[in-house]
């Protein structure tokens, strides 16, 4: 079903508010906001904006939208620690020393990111844009009652919930982050209107330790979750083979009204927190597949959020700029702009890449074989357990 409102004619929206950089977990934390700031700067410098491609500020978000998916006592705790991060926090809320430390202003910064994902959903559902991207979003580990894995509030889930409340009958969520999209899955595992798909490094090796291939949804909605755990050393060709084998037919069979995607780029071979072996070229191929499927199954309605990615200069800005270029139907240049490279050095001290694309990654024959076998096992499990539920043979 289409949303109400004026119909987009090739318009794409970049949802961005400079204040989103306030989502800052502290010095040295891997989820540094500079990675998103450098992404937006690169998008601007290579000329992707204009002629129907616009930056859009998110609208204010109602607390009721936040409380639909997050428990009030948890939100109250985030508010309290937002004013005084040194105050005592109960461990059950997931805030404190470790992955997700409390920081000053975390409630308004987190709400702003959720508001941006709602705005992306609204732009697409109401026909103001065909595609919309919130690079600061994708905080997919947050749970109804606690923060987890660098994520305080779950903006992808909130955007999906908004779509359902405003008339979408079916939503497909595809998560390509290296970590299992556990929070989004938890929030919709009993809702047959939402299909959550996650391709990720196996929980045997990586946080959050979930997302096995036999995890196919809650008792009230068997088939609502699809999980493809992958082995360390998985290359782009193996990743794409798995996607083509089971994810594409699944997306087609579910035939949703909207495609929502989380574009974490921590699958890159050099990411410091994970062990897959993709390149930015492989990521460009992923984005092209998602774009095509949005048009072929959801009448072009495509909403994307950022997510993980901890090579702050070498990977994240290039990958997400390529994703946005895919959305706009425009090409990135061969070389990154000199001004952007200078800014990256100024902001981080790291030398930025001069080219958008990069050479294939070298993986040992033994690791390549092991990863390919593990992928085939996951593919076969989904073919046996999940695809028949959706009528795919």
Q: What is the pLDDT of residue 8?
A: 53
Residues with catalytic roles? 141
What pLDDT score does 220 carry? Answer: 87
For residue 87, what pLDDT is reported?
A: 82
Q: What is the predicted pLDDT for the residue at 2?
A: 38
pLDDT at 29: 97
Domains of the chain: 12-70+112-390 (3.40.800.20)
Tokens 């702003």 map to which residue? 112
Reduced to 3 states (helix: H, G, I; strand: E, B; else coil), residue 114 is: helix
What's the pLDDT at 110?
98
pLDDT in tens, 1-15: 334 334 555 899 999
pLDDT per position as a tens digit, 133-153:
999 999 999 999 999 999 999
Q: Is the omega angle on the peptide bond into residue 68 within 30 degrees of 0, that is, cis?
A: no
Share of the chain above pLDDT 90, in %: 93
From 173, 149, 151, select the one nearest 160 (Cα to Cα): 173
The strands making up 302-305's β-sheet, listed across from edge to edge, are 53-56, 12-15, 131-134, 302-305, 258-262, 171-175, 194-201, 225-230
Query: How high is the pLDDT of residue 6?
Result: 45
- Sequence-distant (6+) residues with CB within 8 A of 165 are none
Q: pLDDT exceeding 70 applies to what percent of the chain?
A: 97
Residue 117, classed as helix, strand or coil, is helix
- Mean pLDDT for 284-310 is 98
Give DSSP secondary structure letters for 148-205. BTTBSS-HHHHHHHHHHHTT-S-EEEEE-SSS--HHHHHHHTT-TTEEEEEEEE-TTT
Distance CA 77, CA 25 (A): 16
| The pLDDT of residue 90 | 76
pLDDT at 234 over 80: yes
pLDDT at 3: 40
Give pLDDT tens digits for 140-191. 999 999 999 999 999 999 999 999 999 999 999 999 999 999 999 999 999 9
Q: What are phi and psi of 241, to 5 degrees?
A: -65, -40
């Amino acid at each position: 079903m289409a949303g109400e409102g004026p119909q987009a004619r090739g318009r794409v929206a970049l949802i961005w508010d400079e204040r989103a950089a306030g989502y800052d977990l502290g010095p040295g934390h891997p989820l540094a906001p500079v990675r998103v700031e450098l992404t937006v700067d690169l998008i601007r410098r290579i000329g992707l904006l204009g002629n129907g491609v616009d930056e859009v500020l998110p609208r204010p978000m109602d607390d009721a939208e936040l409380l639909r998916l997050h428990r009030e006592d948890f939100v109250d705790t985030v508010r309290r620690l937002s004013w005084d991060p040194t105050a005592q926090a109960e461990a059950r809320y997931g805030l404190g020393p470790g992955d997700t430390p409390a920081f000053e202003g975390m409630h308004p910064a987190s709400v702003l990111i959720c508001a941006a994902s709602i705005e992306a959903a609204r732009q697409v559902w109401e026909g103001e844009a065909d595609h919309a991207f919130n690079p600061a979003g994708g905080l997919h580990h947050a749970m109804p009652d606690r923060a987890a894995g660098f994520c305080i509030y779950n903006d992808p889930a909130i955007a999906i919930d908004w779509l359902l409340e405003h008339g979408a009958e079916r939503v497909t969520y595809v998560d390509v982050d290296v970590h299992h999209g556990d929070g989004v899955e938890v929030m919709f595992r009993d809702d047959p209107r939402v299909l959550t798909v996650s391709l990720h490094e196996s929980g045997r090796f990586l946080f959050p330790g979930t997302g096995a291939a036999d995890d196919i949804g809650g008792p009230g909605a068997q088939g609502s979750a699809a999980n493809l755990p992958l082995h360390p050393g998985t290359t782009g060709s193996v990743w794409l083979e798995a996607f083509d084998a089971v994810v594409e037919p699944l997306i087609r069979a579910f035939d949703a009204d909207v495609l929502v995607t989380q574009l974490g780029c921590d699958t890159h071979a050099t990411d410091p927190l994970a062990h897959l072996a993709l390149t930015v070229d492989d990521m460009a191929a992923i984005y092209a597949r998602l774009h095509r499927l949005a048009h072929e199954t959801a009448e072009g309605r495509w909403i994307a959020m950022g997510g993980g990615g901890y090579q702050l200069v070498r990977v994240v800005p290039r990958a997400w700029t390529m994703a946005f270029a895919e959305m706009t139907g425009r090409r990135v240049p061969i070389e990154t702009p000199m001004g952007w490279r200078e800014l990256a050095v100024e902001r981080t001290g790291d030398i930025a890449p001069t080219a958008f694309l990069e050479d294939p990654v070298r993986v040992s024959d033994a690791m390549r074989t092991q990863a390919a076998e593990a992928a085939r096992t996951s593919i076969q499990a989904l073919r046996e357990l999940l695809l028949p539920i959706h009528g795919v043979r």
